Structures are given as C-alpha cells and as structure tokens.
Amino acid sequence: MFSVTDIFLKMTWLNNICGYLIEKIFKISLQSKLGGALQFFIYDTLKIFILLGILIFSISYIQSFFPPERTKKILGRFQGVTGNTLAALLGTITPFCSCSSIPLFIGFTSAGLPIGVTFSFLISSPLVDLASLLLISSFFGFKIAIIYVVVGIILAVVGGLIIDKMNMTKYVEEFVLNIENIDGDRESLSHRDRINFAKNQVKDIFVKVRVPILIGVGIGALIHNVIPSHFIETILGKDNIFAVLIATVIGIPMYADIFGTLPIAEALYGKGVGIGTILALMMSVTALSFPSMVMLSKVIKPKLLILYVSLVTCGILIIGYLFNIIKI
C-alpha cells in the first residue's frame, strides 16, 4: 500500500516503471552495476524535472504578486532581527541559484535597504526555497527537509546580522549604491499574464539547471552503484573527523543549485555518510559556488567578500559537525 508521499514525492511508481523498462527493453539486470546506475539516473532525472516543473510554476505564480518594488517597500519597514528574518524568508520563495540572486541583491542594496538585510536574502535565496523543501522531502523525508530549511534560514539571519553590526556598507562598490531606482506604479497583471510569467520562469530555470542536474544525477549514479562503499566511508564516513571540512571544500568549486546536488546527496546518504556532512556539501555548493563568488566580487570589495565567505563557511562547518554529533 503506497502512501501519499510515496506516490507524489518519492514517486516509487516511477522508479518501478524505470526498472521494468530497463530489464524488459534493454535486457539489463537491475542487480548489475550498469542496470542499477541506469535506473538511478533515469528515475532521478525524471523525478526532479517533474517536481521542479510543478513547483517552480506554482511558486512563480505566487511570486508574480510580489514584484521587486513591492518587496523593497515591505522590507524597508523593518529593521534589526525582524528585517533580517523577513529577508531570509523572502529568499525561500525565490527559486534562484546564487548567480541569479545577485541582481536582486544589487537592486535591494541600491534601494537603500540595510546591508545586513540584503545579505540575509543573498545567503538564503540559493540555499533554501520551497521547491527544495519538497524535493528534499522526496529524497530524505520531511524531518531532514525541515532541518535543512531551518538551519539555512538561521545561517542567513545570523550572517546578515553580523555583517550589519560591522557596518560594512562602505565595502559595497560605489556604482551599486549610486544606481538610480525608479519605482513607478505597476499595471495589475491579469490571470493570463501571471500564467505566462510562471511558464517563462519554468523555461528559464530549466535552461539554467538542466546541465547541473544531469551532471549531479550522473555523479550520484556513480556513487550509488559504482564507487565502493569503503572508499566513500574513508573520505566522508562518520569515522573521519575531517569529513565535514572535506565536503565543504569539495562543494565550493562545483557549480550547481540545490536541484543538482540532491542526487549526489541521496547517493552519499545511501552509502552511510552522516547527515551533517551531506548538509555541508549541499550548502557549500549552493551558497559558495566559485562562479557566484566571481560575480559577487564585481559588486562588493574584497574585505566584505572575504567576510561573507568566512561567515558562511564557519556556519556550514558548525552546522555539519553539530548534526553529525547529534546523529539525526
């Protein structure tokens, strides 16, 4: 008897179909490494794209009611912890990768929002979103998904507050602070306009994430079916005290969003890697990817960039080791 989670999130029926087709059409046993890797690759790819299409469309439709101008006005009313928390929560409803979040960060900063508030958004936006909550649930269950979202928001709020307290606005490039903002009245969008906006968002995001997802699923398939368990355990296993640090360092040069890292995380989880180590990998990939740091270096000065990277890295390491210790 399948549960609602099995049917709609884990899509176990899809996994069974993929396995059946591989055995009947390709005549490859699922017990072989090749058959297992093919099933993992086809099933995970289809599941991610199906869920991603549905979730991004829904979120984008809701987001059409909150254009940047309105968001700036809402955030501008709050200061301190409240402002940082709202900015972090705003990041959870924007389905962007780290590079896509930077233009909005520029817009919020040029609009005069406190530097800490804008950084809370910048940390949260690629790290956590509603789509990732449901996708992580489909891989690991709601408990781990909620943990990931909560610690991501906490990291974003704390990081933003520290940057704000250190008064780092002077380390933002001058051209960002001097951008002229013209916030005119926006014509109300019709239902059709919102549907078209949501469709375009799905298309744009699919174009951006399809290659990272395929790469991520491919790596996940190799880890899950080809790379020996003892090799993974030696490098990232629970007995290696440096596992969280290694996972964080490995994640930084990778360019992917949460959707591309999930298949890798799933494969590592199946090999017995600690949840803290997996969280560290996912967070470093999404929040500290090298391409996004290159883009960010164009809008903030080196001292602020180093502080940002240091804060996020320390936060990721603390989260990783903490969750490995408590063994959730």
Domain boundaries, the chain: 68-178+210-326
Residues 3, 1: Cα–Cα separation, whole Å? 7
Instruction: Considering only residues 73 and 162, tell me which one the structure prediction assigns the higher pLDDT.
Output: 162
Provide the residue count of the chain.
Answer: 328
Q: Is 92 helix (H, G, I), strand (E, B) or coil?
A: coil
pLDDT in tens, 166-223: 988 888 888 777 755 544 444 577 888 889 988 987 887 788 768 877 887 888 788 7
Its sign, for the CA torsion 154, 157, 159, 162, is: negative
Q: Are 41 and 218 contacting, i.e. CB atoms less than 8 angstroms apart?
A: yes
Which residues share a beta bridge with 227? Answer: none
Query: If you average pLDDT over residues 28-50, what whole number do you get?
Result: 88
Q: pLDDT digits over 264-315, tens only? A: 888 888 888 988 898 898 888 877 877 678 778 888 899 999 999 999 999 9
Helix, strand, or coil (residue 235): helix
Contact (Cβ atoms closer than 8 angstroms) between residue 178 and residue 37: no
Residue 66 has φ and ψ, to the nearest 5°, of -130, 75
Structure-model confidence comparison of residues 106 and 244, the more confident one: 244
What is the Cα–Cα distance from 314 to 245, expressed in whole angstroms? 10
Which stretch of 48-52, 130-134, 190-194 has the lowest confidence by average pLDDT? 130-134
Per-residue tokens: 75: 């955030």
- How would residue 255 be classed by pLDDT, with cut points 50, 70 and 90? low
pLDDT value at residue 246: 93
pLDDT band, very low/low/confident/very high, at 157 (cuts 50, 70, 90): very high
For 57-92, give one letter per residue: b (16+ CB within 10 A) or e.
bebbbebbeeeebebbeebeebeeeebbbbbbbbbb
* Cα–Cα distance for residue pair 274/276, rounded to 1 Å: 5
Q: Which two tokens stand for residue 86?
A: 């709202």
- Supply the pTM of this predicted model: 0.71
Of 195 and 136, more confident? 195
Residue 294 vs residues 100, 156, 301: alpha-carbon distances, Å: 13, 20, 12
- Eight-class DSSP state of 26: S
Contacts of 148 (CB under 8 A, 6+ apart): 128, 132, 133, 136, 279, 282
Please compute the mean of the pLDDT values over residues 13-36 and round it to a whole number: 89
Percentage of residues in the chain having pLDDT higher than 70:
81
Give percent above pLDDT 90 in the chain.
Answer: 14
Whether residue 265 contacts residue 224, with contact meaning beta carbons closer than 8 Å, is answered with no
Residue 263, H or E segment = helix 258-270
* Mean residue pLDDT across the chain: 80
Q: What DSSP designation does 1 have?
A: -
- Contact between residue 165 and residue 292 where contact means Cβ atoms under 8 Å apart: no
